[in-house]
Amino acid sequence: MDLATDESHLLVFGDSGSGKTSFLRTWISAMVSRRSGWEVRFVVADYRRSLLGQVPDEHLGAYAADSEALKVYVEQVSAKLRERLPPSTITPRELAARTWWEGPDIYLVVDDYDLVGGGPQSPLRPFVEFLPHARDIGFHIVLARRVAGSSRTLMTDLLVARMQEMGSAGLVLSGDRREGVLVGDQRAAVRPPGRGVLVTRRAPTELIQVAFTEDLMTSGAAR
């Protein structure tokens, strides 16, 4: 999965115990091993502190464990992203080469998004305006939430709705199929932990098992 060149954003759906946090750990550790802190910076929203210590300092832009902290960081990141919006005088060549700003790509990683909330009061609401410009400004959202309640809450959730419309990548882990279509044409199904359907533009939709090692659970703390 390459969010830098393909979909930009990723939605992970799975009920409790389906392997959402484990997926995020695996993905973060893979990113960190391939990219320097100059190239990627993680902004983590993690109210249950499941990802605490997973991102090395070099790659960590901010870590929010509650809504107050998240609001502050969202404001700071939004200001940074606004500076990166292309000027109106930009040429196609400059746009393609991303010459008008420098810095790391910012990955907003949200675990347990249902706790953050997606309604009009969501602390993440300011990011909606940046979603379509993601590639130009080096901004990515990786968001994990429960399947349960999706059919009800996603109707008022602008951020997730926009991510779905844009054709974000998706990983659909275990959950109730009656919650409806979540990403692409995929509904959830009851599956073992770490098992899910990966939806990307690049490859046909496929059933995968997320890599998992116990080491990942402790490596962050050891760092």
Ligand X SMILES: Nc1ncnc2c1ncn2[C@@H]1O[C@H](COP(=O)(O)OP(=O)(O)OP(=O)(O)O)[C@@H](O)[C@H]1O
Report, in Å, the least distance between residue 173 CB and Mg ion: 11
Query: b/e per residue, 90-100, with b = 16+ CB within 10 A?
Result: eeeeeeeeeeb
- The two three-digit tokens of residue 204, written as one number: 């046909």
Short-list 84, 80, 87, 88, CA closest to 101: 84
CB 167 within 8 A of CB 161: no
- The two three-digit tokens of residue 76, written as one number: 């700071």
21 is a site residue for Mg ion (CB under 5 A) = yes
Report, in Å, the least distance between residue 196 CB and ligand X: 9
Question: How far is the C-alpha of 105 from the C-alpha of 84, rounded, in Å?
Answer: 11
22 is a site residue for Mg ion (CB under 5 A) = no
54 vs 200 by CB, closer to Mg ion: 54
Contact segment (CB under 6 A) with ligand X among 13-21, 39-47, 70-78, 155-163 equals 13-21
Report, in Å, the least distance between residue 49 CB and ligand X: 11
- The two three-digit tokens of residue 168, written as one number: 């974000």
Q: Considering CB under 6 A, how many residues would be counted as binding ligand X?
A: 12
Q: Under 8 Å CB-to-CB from 88, ≥6 apart: which residues?
A: none
Binder among 175, 194, 197, 198 for ligand X (CB under 6 A):
194
Report, in Å, the least distance between residue 222 CB and ligand X: 18
138 is a site residue for ligand X (CB under 6 A) = no
Q: Under 8 Å CB-to-CB from 153, ≥6 apart: which residues?
A: 114, 118
200 is a site residue for ligand X (CB under 6 A) = no
Residues near Mg ion (CB under 5 A) are 20-21, 50
Chain contacts with ligand X (rule: CB under 6 A) = 14, 16-22, 193-194, 210, 212
